[in-house]
Structure 1
Amino acid sequence: MTTRTARGSAFHPPAPLTRRAILAGTAAAAVAGHAGSALAQETLKIGVLGTITGPGATWGLGIDGGARIAADEVNARGGLKVGGKAYKVEIVSYDDQYRAAAAVTAINRLIGPDGVRFVLGPIGSASLLAIKPITEREKVLLFTASWSAEVLKDSRYIFRVGPTTQEFAPATVAWLKQNRPQVKRVATLSANDETGWNSQRIQKAAYAAGGLEIVAAEHFERQQNDFRALLTKLLAARPDSIELDTTPPPTAGLVVRQAREQGFKGGFTKFGGFDVAELVRTAGADNAEGVIGILLGDPASAEWAKLQQAYARHHSNAMGDFVVPFYDSARLLFHAIEASGTVTDSDKVVAALEKSAPFRGAVGELTWGGKAAYGVDHQIYGPVFLTEIVKGKGNVIGKVALV
């Protein structure tokens, strides 16, 4: 497992840390003394585990960026105030490459040598489900964006930072039916893994419940970049629209471009993991025109502009919407740590988190939910923004509140 600080663009991975830096980071304790402040100041390490490189890099860099922005803010006001001490927050990032084995290696490193008790990420369901037995046993808190229905079941220390297909699919399908009445026949395309299987199942049910016909449903491999044969099968079913589901944004752009090259004139929706800049980059602005998806923030808002400016201090790629929920989640975590009065007792921090809602987030009020579906109210509920690509830019065309 390569240790990375996730500096640099999503598609030009940063150089590995030097041997000196790796040894220094490994040797550092999770809580190390510092002198010279009014309160005794120490360092609290917060882990980031995400897909920093590859097609899903915009998501992993979003986790890292959101965490670093929140850490910058809390450090600027003197650090976390806990038990008569001020803790400077340090972010420690690892790349799981969207692979379960790499995630296991990374979480063992975070819990072991790094001494981390709180982790933001991962994204992939395979990664999350692989590390879940470890983190639950060790009482390590995870703030994940993984969409599998199994994520929150039988868990005490996992919180999901944003809505999944389970929460928003009925609303997005209803919007599509009302606002795009020409769409009657839909084909779906999803990744061939736990995330894709679960999300496609929910999408298909939502489309069917909304009165739209699913005429084809296919899966692809995460590293795939040639979709012509697969698209030949999809297009033979004569869909009016193709649902791109949880396909990583750069990959989704390739699908859009190759479908257009094969003569597809219909629409595209991507109700999951939307990123305008990356989709346009690989599809081309003309091909991406009219693609509709959902974002977890409004690119035209003052809050987005503020986060974008702060994000640019850490990464050079265009900011994606994953920054928003992970920024808010880091702030929630910091609030709970201070309220619980501990940086080591996970159960007290969990209890403080559960009492923290409603919480004012970057895009509005955040609340906890999910018990009916998952058995525990560890699912953050907040608004999502329906967004259409127009002339290469994301244009918000609606807002859906999830309660």
Structure 2
Amino acid sequence: MKFASYTLIAAAILGLSACKQQTPAGTEAASAPVADTSASGDTVKIGLAAPLTGNIAHLGKDVEYGAQMAIEEVNAEGGLDVDGAKKKVVLVSEDDQADPKNATTVAQRFVDQKIAGVIGHLTSGTSIPASKIYSDAGIPQISPSATALAYTAQGFKTTFRLTANDGQQGLVLAQYAVAKLNAKKIAIIDDRTAYGQGLADEFEKAAKAAGAEIVKREFTTNQETDFNAILTNIKGAKPDLIFYGGMDAQSAPLKKQSKKLGLTAVVMGADGTKSPEFLKLAGVDAEGTFGSSAGQSVDQMPGGKEFKEKFKTKFGVDVQVYAPYSYDATKLMLSAMKQAGSANPAKYLPVLSKIQHQGLTGPIAFDEKGDVKNAAVGVYSVKNGQWELAEMVGGAK
């Protein structure tokens, strides 16, 4: 009996050891208990929420790595000078799996841990429900990538974003499709997420206003990879252009399948499509696809080349889309804390809302909703296997 008891105890200890999460250097395991307040002791804890697993984990890791780079640079300079002391900044990463329900669980966990501020979430569908929880707790949230109009339309003083919204992207893409690509008949597909559907709605509205006819409007899910039935249905309408509201994990197979079915329509996506991963997934069939950037692309940013090289050296992967924005979001949040002299959200939030910050992505300031001012939208096309800028609209002058 004693031997059996000891065996069970040993097994339990081994099991607990095996369950410890492995995280990148400078980050903290998501499940680790946090007893400190946001700036107690000698640390300031910043939360990062994104899909770190699943079919868009490459985008989630992109924003995590961008935030990690910013934090490591601040720590290398001696830490953050707040509340009368130099404090180390710690990144606490959580995987929301791009799922709205998981996102609210993650948000509540950050609140319970008294996180000083949150970078994220990645998608609009997770950012919107989580924002209510952060607002109720008074914790600032800066999304480097959520584009849905609803995200900043709720009146929360804690909600900010660094990219152009769906209204801006949809307008620029639709006008380009009609005026520059001569698309008179357009088919639209979306993934029914807050991002994909919202973007498709804005694109449709702007395309109609520009004089195009919407010949088909279809929808799928953000997990689907077989679009043959939808594309076959669309083929009979003979569209000049197919617009997809969703991410690269779906737009790539959609593009490949459209070519296989013999569709001659141009395929256009938005910022969720314009990524190195799309080029990898679509291969030679990527040629001729259009996408957008909800802000300056890293290649257009002053200092972007050096950022890309440092990022690749450090993490062994290329910048996807949003790493420069999560980098800036983190630096911006820490700058507001430094200017306020405190990591207490109640003290640095007023500074954050009025901040003027020169970032990698350009000059940053927020309007009364928390949207970044002077957001740019770039239209890109795939030529010779690479994304090339076709048109840039807006941005700080």
TM-score band w.r.t. shorter chain: 0.7 to 0.9
What's the counterpart of residue 26 of structure 1? 33
The offset of 1:254, in angstroms, is 0.7
Q: Is the 8 A contact 2:117 2:140 kept in 1?
A: yes
For residues 346-400 of structure 1, what are the alpha-carbon distances to aligned partners after superposition, in whole Å with 9 as ceiling and x for unaligned?
233221112213x32223333323x5xxxx2444543233222112211122221
Q: Is the 8 A contact 2:186 2:214 kept in 1?
A: yes
Corresponding position: 1:259 with 2:258: yes
The offset of 1:56, in angstroms, is 2.1
What's the counterpart of residue 362 of structure 2? 364
How far, CA to CA, are the matches of 2:325 and 2:373 in structure 1?
A: 9
What's the counterpart of residue 204 of structure 1? 204
The offset of 1:47, in angstroms, is 0.5
Aligned pairs for 1:315-394 (under 5 A) are 315-344=315-344, 346-357=345-356, 359-369=357-367, 371=368, 376-394=369-387
What's the counterpart of residue 282 of structure 1? 281
The offset of 1:304, in angstroms, is 2.4
Corresponding position: 1:185 with 2:192: no
- Where 1:244 maps in the other structure, the secondary structure is strand
Q: Is the 8 A contact 2:187 2:214 kept in 1?
A: yes
How far, CA to CA, are the matches of 1:380 and 1:67 in structure 2?
A: 21
- Residues 392, 189 of structure 1: alpha-carbon distance in 2 compared, 3 angstrom cutoff: same
Which deviates the most, 307-316 or 156-165?
307-316
The offset of 1:256, in angstroms, is 0.3
What's the counterpart of residue 396 of structure 1? 389
For residues 172-212 of structure 1, what are the alpha-carbon distances to aligned partners after superposition, in whole Å with 9 as ceiling and x for unaligned?
3223333222x211111111132222222111001111222
- Where 1:151 maps in the other structure, the secondary structure is helix
How far, CA to CA, are the matches of 2:20 and 2:162 in structure 1?
A: 24
How far, CA to CA, are the matches of 1:289 and 1:68 in structure 2?
A: 33
- Where 1:127 maps in the other structure, the secondary structure is helix
How far, CA to CA, are the matches of 1:155 and 1:214 in structure 2?
A: 35
2:130 is aligned with what amino acid?
I
What's the counterpart of residue 11 of structure 1? none
1:225 is aligned with what amino acid?
T
Identity of aligned residues (%): 22
Aligned pairs for 1:228-247 (under 5 A) are 228-245=228-245, 247=246
The offset of 1:6, in angstroms, is 6.3
How far, CA to CA, are the matches of 1:3 and 1:351 in structure 2?
A: 38
- Residues 353, 209 of structure 1: alpha-carbon distance in 2 compared, 3 angstrom cutoff: same
The offset of 1:402, in angstroms, is 4.5
Corresponding position: 1:171 with 2:164: no
- Where 2:250 maps in the other structure, the secondary structure is helix
Q: Is the 8 A contact 1:297 1:324 kept in 2?
A: no
What's the counterpart of residue 99 of structure 2? 99
For residues 240-269 of structure 1, what are the alpha-carbon distances to aligned partners after superposition, in whole Å with 9 as ceiling and x for unaligned?
111122x11121101100111111122111
1:142 is aligned with what amino acid?
Q
- Where 1:115 maps in the other structure, the secondary structure is coil
The offset of 1:22, in angstroms, is 7.0
1:365 is aligned with what amino acid?
P
Larger-gyration structure (1/2): 2
Which deviates the most, 191-200 or 329-338?
191-200
Count of aligned pairs between the two proteins: 371
2:268 is aligned with what amino acid?
T
1:391 is aligned with what amino acid?
N
How far, CA to CA, are the matches of 1:233 and 1:3 in structure 2?
A: 49
For residues 103-156 of structure 1, what are the alpha-carbon distances to aligned partners after superposition, in whole Å with 9 as ceiling and x for unaligned?
1222222222x3312011112333223323321111111112333332221211
- Where 2:328 maps in the other structure, the secondary structure is helix
Q: Is the 8 A contact 1:51 1:96 kept in 2?
A: yes
- Where 1:337 maps in the other structure, the secondary structure is helix
Q: Is the 8 A contact 2:51 2:98 kept in 1?
A: yes
- Residues 222, 347 of structure 1: alpha-carbon distance in 2 compared, 3 angstrom cutoff: same
Give 1:294's match in structure 2, choosing from 292, 295, 306: 292
- Residues 397, 363 of structure 1: alpha-carbon distance in 2 compared, 3 angstrom cutoff: farther
Corresponding position: 1:227 with 2:234: no
What's the counterpart of residue 14 of structure 1? none
How far, CA to CA, are the matches of 1:124 and 1:334 in structure 2?
A: 23
- Residues 276, 146 of structure 1: alpha-carbon distance in 2 compared, 3 angstrom cutoff: closer
Q: Is the 8 A contact 1:62 1:322 kept in 2?
A: yes
How far, CA to CA, are the matches of 2:53 and 2:92 in structure 1?
A: 16
- Where 1:26 maps in the other structure, the secondary structure is coil
- Where 2:217 maps in the other structure, the secondary structure is strand
Q: TM-score, normalised by structure 1?
A: 0.84
How far, CA to CA, are the matches of 1:51 and 1:170 in structure 2?
A: 28
